[in-house]
Structure 1
Amino acid sequence: MRTEDVLAAVATGLWHWDGATGRVTFDAEAARLLGLPAERTELSESAARARFHAVDWVEFQGIISVAVAEDALAEARIRVVDEAGRVRRTVRARTRQSAHGGPRSLVGILEEVPAPHPGTSPARTTVTGDWRRNREAFLLDAGRALAEARSTAEVLRVAAGLSMPGFEPSALAVFGTDGGRVTLIGHHGYALEDVSAFLEIPLDGNHPAPEVVRTGRAIYIPSPEDYARRFPQVWPLVARFGRKSWAFLPLINAGQTIGAWMAGFSVPVAFTPDERSVLTTVARMLAQALSRASVHESEKELSAGLQRSMMPTVQPDIPGMTVAARYVPTGGGLEVGGDWYDMIPLPSGRLALVIGDVQGHDVRAAGLMGQLRIALRAYASEGHHPDAVLSRASRFLSGINESGLSGVDDGVPPDPRFATCLYIEVDPATGLLVIARAGHPDPAIRMADGTMLVRATAGGLPLGIDPDTDYPTTRLLLEPGETMLVCTDGLIETGGHDLETGWSRLREVIEGEQAADDPEFLETLADALVQAVHGPSSHYTTGPLVDRREDDIALLLLRREAPAPAAARAAEPPPRRTVMSIAQAEPERIAEARQQVRDLMHDWPDPDQTDSAVLMVSEMLTNVLVHTDGDALLRASVSGERGHRRVRVDVADTSDELPHRRHPGEMASSGRGLVLMELLAGAWGVDPRGEGKNIWFELYEAGRPSPDELAAIT
């Protein structure tokens, strides 16, 4: 007697689903139960699905997925519907993976569930509405919590707090793989001394966790007797915990078993298909969360290692000077970009400060940054002048770009990059700074009285654009008590700022910090600058630009300490000074000189006097460039106590021809320089010197002082 005849005799239908073709074959009894003619019938998957209630079909698909993964039998009750969607009957479906078909083929049976007798409640389907809603809410909450976990410890904490609908584990353990061993990563519900025997288990050991890792299939143990029968060697160690049921599930990510998850229960659990489905779904989410956390922790460790290797330790023992530095990556991924700083001891006994920014925020930018930093160190250590160091570095980066363009045949698209850089040679003994700049933001000076000035410096193109670019140098003097800030554009422009508004934001921080004799002043100032850009207050100081992108930040602070006698000198505020030279070929720098004087007098109470000083500076510098063949040297200072301060501006040149008063006509375009000086200056004069002259003027906050007061100020 055939199998189909035996099944038909007990009103049980047979069906087969071919995963390769998507066709479902029903025998005569199975077709009858579906409301089809009682004959062998073959339907498409969609046609077969239309014969069942949609909710039950979706649930049955989930149960089948779990059963196939565990090589187990799937069972569910499904409502059969007609073409109008009316329920005709309820059938019990049992299925498992076919032993003779492909990996996606199934074989199963259908049998009708008797209708309930009058006065009794209908039989419950496998998953009721309330249980389904509870399960969906639980899985959504668990998925959200696991997705937000960023570390292995956070994932384990979330797993320990999972409360499953209808059955709550009283103990959890997560195992990982390490070569030929299964190691305990984390646990909940056990004391530390209780798990010592399970910290490391051989992969071939007689324990559910290694078996799950080896086979990739879940193990459900509904009773202590079943545990003792299946794993007799480890049962004596487990029995003392008093659990009643256990579930061990593989943690699989991207097709690879990365560990096992154990859920222990203090009450017996039957592990119905629905409960297994929940556990399997949680195990999948847990595996993905652990994998993400592992990648994130590896990236953080790699990022920290790269930062330690690429960012030098600040040299603490510079005679007469102190240094502070910060590097803040703001990108994603490895959190390593193209920004860098460096401190290089030079053969002359001086020190070089370098700060730069390679275009981009990716791995290539970080790699180029490392190469460029090494090249700059090599050129500086050879004793080259700052302009020569940058010229060689530009040729070096241009060579890398050219080799990248020639490598298109390798399938790698060309990706030329440039880099901005500021190179400063520092003489700690005198405070002399020799600066070469390649498209980088200018340095800023915090003067001894707290005023901040952005010091304009000569510069050239960014590195890597033109291998033959020249980089002129600028010489500045860092006075005792002054602090220099050099930074990448991320500190200035992050938050939608341009150069003007970005420097204004930093000015408030720099001028707001009190130096006094605080040995931690530089560290405090460095932290305050970073907080101003990335701290909570930064959200209230956004810039005028629509682009609010964040950028990496590198900054260096260099402070020249005031000598003890000057520090002990009573209450007289330190003077503000600025010095700059303007060559015959740089008339555009007159605008920078005007801005320097305006910044120097930023808190001068009379704006008309400030405008007068700017006008006279412009006139004096223009006269030097027009009427002489030499360069102009500008020196400006503000000295004295507030309310009695004096501004003095000197412009020196190499011509010995003294200025003369002229009487320009009404339409003349020149000849009014001395007239302006007499009208606007509190005092002015011309001092002949060896091979040139010095023209100066003074303005006074409280009117022209008496000769005695003037001598005291001087």
Structure 2
Amino acid sequence: MRTGEPLPPVEDVLASLSTGLWHWDTAAELVTVDAETARLLGLPSEPTTLTQSRARSLFHPVDWNENTSITQLAAAEGTLGEVRLRIMDEQGGIVRTVRSRFRPMFDREERVYRVTGTLQEVSEPTPGTPAGRTAVTGDWRRSREAFLLDAGRALAEARSTAEVLRVAAGLSMPGFSPDGLAVFGVEGDRLTIIGHHGQQPGDENPFSHMSLETDYPAAEVVRTGRAVYLSSPEAYRARYPVTWPLAQHFDRQSWAFLPLTVAGRTMGAWMAGFAYPVAFTPDERSVLTTVARMLAQALSRAGVTESERELTDGLQRSMLPTLGPRIPGMTIAARYVPTGGGLQVGGDWYDMIPLPGGTSRTESGGGRFALVIGDVQGHDVRAAGLMGQLRIALRAYASEGHRPDAVLSRASRFLNGMTYGSVEDGDPTDTRFATCLYIEADPVTGVLEVARAGHPEPAIRMADGTVLARRTEGGLPLGIDPDADYPTTRIVLEPGETLMLCTDGLIETGGHDFETGWKRVRTILETHEGDLEELADALVQAVHGPSSHHTTGPLADRREDDIAVLLLSRQGEGPDHDDTVNPRPTVRRTMLSVAQAEPQRVGFARQHLRELLHDWSSADQVDSAVLLLSETLTNVLVHTDADALLLAEVHGEAGTRRLRIEVTDTSDDLPHKRRPGELASSGRGLMLIELLADRWGVDPRGDGKSIWFEFHELHEPSAGTSD
């Protein structure tokens, strides 16, 4: 070229260098190429315009997606983009590999990209060589894709901010890994440190509460929403001379500061520091940007989850009561653990209610109170709201002095009106019911008046560790029938005994049905040594591990249902009693009533006696005792108009114990032995007692009589002697 001659066209210059030009307009979805680019693409060597879909078909699909990603990254950062692309033929074979360099422009109003760049053929490196592991080709590409998949999975599974930070600190990026990380948040107009890794404790102090107007990379990233890459200490010092001294003593060689953006809002910044120089190629920036986006999403999810947990924990705490003043002679413990689903609110609750006149009598050593445990159908905000309203209603009815049956009847009408009112208001699907167990307790006598509405029955841990499921009369769950009745059952809690009330979550959680779940709970009750608080913890831990008074978080996540547990222990007698739940005395005692209108309770009594004698050494004696009990109770119901009261006692040490059973009624008619005919259907009761029991007798009482019989453990039954 002679001096003064005009410059040749740019296309001619680039063609002489085997470099083509192209332009991509995403608004028109057209790609315009010159003759050299067309040749490299396997098309006739002449300028042409291709549709976007036609252009895409000429490239390996992975490479086209790579090109799109780097285009967006370069436009966001205002930098040049570079990518390697594999050209494909119609049969899907690779024709050649080209390198594209380009500068994208993003039109924010039209939301489209306009990209102009060059295309040049390059040789494909041999797999396994260092060149084969450079950006976007060979093993590096495959390892990067695997890394991003693993990182995305790990960050998606992190449930708290601390877990997210641990995952971020453990990321090993392909080809380059930072030796120091810091995550910055924003509070008002200042930076905060959410967490860091690779620095010593206290190193974060100069960066905490730094103004966003400070000449510091993380502050600039938050202000602008654009990443900052510093490939050398000289670049850091030249661009941020004011804050360079803060970073200098970490002795790093390169830094990347990336925005943490969620839904278009920059919530913070992520710093990755490197102990060696990093050029921050487009592909390396692409990896860092992808990780930053996943990190921002994970932190956002964790923040929402933690806020929900804090909110619902506070909500649940506000709804659950304190257990009130200490009751002389009794000890109370309770636990509530919400479900792991959703907002972690549910319909389970417990309560302790001082009854009218109870406060003054409590201070003097007496005073009745009520214990309530229940479960509103569902595990959502609606269930929690109904639970709160129902709890208030129960407190009101109890404070008015109503008996347990009346309290539950009124509560059922209240809930029925609440839930079926929603049907009239246009929500026919949101009818709810609730199970409930209401107990009025007298701490002086240990008498418990129990009314039950579809709830699991209470259990008694006797003073020697024997556990009985106490059969109690019950009615329908609350809210189903506004006219339902709730009969009352009287139980006496003896000194040293513990009453357990629970919702079905304690029994059936963990894949158990009611039978297997009850066995698990029973084993804990029978074997635990310690005070009542430790027993409450042990019951909850049997389901899902350690818990506090109200457990939330990951521990709660492993269960299917809410758990509520309420324990009431009557302290043993004597000055040396120490409040433990396992004093192991030598007397085992239980009482049960059978009314004329409740003949089905004879079956309950038989099962109750078997549970009482669960460790009796002679199975034949157990069968005999159950048979005689059934005969005795049936005689009272058939031959008198009175109700029957069962008292069963086991005295002594295992192996030499004595079982005494008394059935008392208010009839003055004394039983007498008869000799029934061969086909007679009655008259054998006393004959069986005389034949099977070791001792038996009939004791007149001032208001009735008592029939009793005894068995001595390991003794062969012999003809009894009447006293």
TM-score by length of 2: 0.86
Pair 1:565–1:289, CA change in 2 (3 A): closer
Q: Is 1:322 the equivalent of 2:331?
A: yes
Q: CA deviation at 1:524?
A: 2.8
CA distance in 1, matches of 2:634, 2:388: 45
* Offset of residue 607 of structure 1: 2.0
Structure 1: which amino acid aligns with 2:447?
L
**Secondary structure of the structure 2 residue equivalent to 1:139:** helix
Q: Post-superposition shift, 1:599?
A: 1.9
Q: Does 1:364 align with 2:372?
A: no
After superposition, the C-alpha distances for 1:587-639 in whole angstroms (9 at most, x for unaligned) are 11110011122222222222222222211221222222222222222222222
User: How far apart are residue 131 of structure 1 and its match?
Assistant: 2.0
State which of 17, 23, 38 in structure 2 corresponds to 1:31: 38
Q: How big is the shift at 1:236?
A: 4.6
Q: CA deviation at 1:684?
A: 2.6
1:55-110 superposed Cα distances (whole Å, 9 cap, x missing partner): 54343233223223323321223343443455555443233334669423332233
Runs of 5+ unmatched residues, structure 2: 1-5, 359-367, 547-557
Give the one of 19, 22, 30 matched to 2:29. Answer: 22
Q: Where do 1:109-508 residues align within 5 Å?
A: 109-113=117-121, 126-192=135-201, 194-315=203-324, 317-349=326-358, 350-408=368-426, 414-508=429-523
- 1:449 to 1:34, Cα distance in 2 relative to 1, 3 A: closer
Contact 1:594 1:614 in 2 (8 A): yes
Aligned with residue 644 of structure 2, among 632, 648, 658: 632
Contact 2:75–2:106 at 8 Å: present in 1 too? no
CA contact 2:617–2:714 (8 Å) conserved in 1:
no
Q: Structure 1 residue 51 and structure 2 residue 58: aligned?
A: yes
Q: Given that residues 89 and 112 in structure 1 are in contact (C-alpha distance below 8 angstroms), is that contact kept between their aligned partners in structure 2?
A: no
Give the match for residue 555 of structure 2.
none
State the alpha-carbon separation in 1 of the partners of residues 521 and 232 from structure 2: 68
Between 432-441 and 227-236, report the one with greater CA deviation.
227-236
Is 1:41–2:41 an aligned residue pair? no
User: Structure 2: how far apart are the matches of 1:506 and 1:191?
Assistant: 47
Out of 10, 13, 23, which is 1:6 matched to? Answer: 10
Q: Paired residue for 2:658?
A: 646
Report the CA distance shift for 1:374/1:127 in structure 2 as closer, same or farther (over 3 A). same
Whole-angstrom distance in 1 between the partners of 2:541 and 2:8:
78
**C-alpha distance after superposition, 1:227-248 (max 9, x if no partner):** 3444444345444544433221
> How many angstroms does 1:395 deviate by?
1.7
Q: Is the 8 A contact 1:339 1:552 kept in 2?
A: yes
Which whole-Å CA distance do the structure 1 matches of 2:238 and 2:113 have between them?
33
Q: 1:641 to 1:32 in 2, by over 3 A?
A: closer
CA contact (8 A) 1:650 1:694 kept: yes
Q: Contact 1:643–1:702 at 8 Å: present in 2 too? A: yes
Within a 5 Å distance, the mapping from 1:519-558 to structure 2 comes to 520-534=530-544, 550-558=560-568
In the alignment, residue 590 of structure 1 is paired with which amino acid?
V
Equivalent residue of 1:390, what SS? helix
Which consecutive residues of structure 1, in runs of 5 or more, have no partner in the other structure? 515-519, 537-547
1:695 counterpart residue number = 707
Cα deviation for residue 421 of structure 1 reads 1.0
For 2:106 and 2:545, how far apart are their aligned partners in 1?
A: 63
Q: Identity over the aligned pairs, expressed in percent?
A: 67
C-alpha distance in structure 2 between counterparts of 1:89 and 1:130, whole Å: 18
Higher mean C-alpha deviation, range 44-53 or range 615-624: 44-53
1:8 deviation in Å? 4.5
Whether 1:96 and 2:106 are equivalent positions in the alignment is: no
When the two chains are superposed, the root-mean-square deviation of aligned CA atoms in Å is: 3.3
The amino acid of 2:624's aligned partner reads S
Q: Which amino acid aligns with 1:339?
A: D
Other structure's SS at 1:564 match: coil
Give, in whole Å, the separation in 2 of the partners of 1:18 and 1:371. Answer: 62
| 1:404-430 alpha-carbon deviations (Å, 9 max, x no partner) | 22333xxx6632121111111111111
Question: Contact 1:219–1:247 (CA<8 Å) still a contact in 2?
Answer: yes
Any conservation in 2 of the 1:578–1:596 contact (CA below 8 Å)?
Answer: no
Deviation per CA, 1:676-708: give whole Å up to 9, x if none: 2222222333333334332222223365999xx
Structure 2 Cα separation of the partners of residues 284 and 371 of structure 1: 44
Displacement, 1:566? 8.5
Say whether 1:510 aligns with 2:522.
no
2-side partners of 1:196 and 1:114: how far apart? 49
Corresponding residue to 2:574 among 558, 564, 572: 564
Contact 1:572–1:640 (Cα < 8 Å) also in 2: no
- Residue 71, structure 1, aligned to residue 78, structure 2: yes
The whole-number CA distance in structure 2 between the counterparts of 1:4 and 1:446 is 101
Matched AA of 2:461: R
The answer to whether the 8 Å contact 2:464/2:584 transfers is no
Q: For residues 623 and 89 of structure 1, do their structure 2 counterparts lie closer, same or farther at Cα, with a shift above 3 Å needed?
A: closer
C-alpha displacement at 1:457, in angstroms? Answer: 1.1
Cα distance change on mapping 1:668 and 1:250 into 2, 3 Å: same
Q: Are the aligned partners of 1:93 and 1:108 in contact in 2 as well (CA < 8 Å)?
A: no
User: TM-score, normalized by length of structure 1?
Assistant: 0.87
How many residues in Structure 1 have an aligned counterpart in Structure 2?
A: 684
What is the distance in 1 between the residues matched to 2:519 and 2:130?
A: 76
Using the alignment, how far apart are the partners of 1:98 and 1:422 within structure 2? 70
Question: Any idea what SS the aligned residue of 1:661 has?
Answer: coil
In structure 1, what is the Cα distance between the partners aligned to 2:682 and 2:130?
108
8 A contact 1:315–1:323 mirrored in 2: no
Kindly indicate whether the alpha-carbon contact (under 8 Å) linking 1:299 and 1:333 is maintained by their aligned counterparts in 2. Answer: no
Task: Say whether the 8 Å CA contact 1:331–1:361 is kept in structure 2.
Answer: no
Query: Amino acid of the residue matched to residue 346 of structure 1?
Result: L
Cα distance in 2 for residues equivalent to 1:99 and 1:430? 83
Residues 462-516 of structure 1 deviation map (CA, whole Å, 9 limit, x = unaligned): 11111221211111111111111111112222344444433333333222234xx
Asked if the contact 2:446–2:493 (Cα under 8 Å) also holds between the matched residues in 1, the reply is yes
Q: Classify the secondary structure of the residue corresponding to 2:119.
A: strand
Worse overlay, 503-512 or 268-277: 503-512
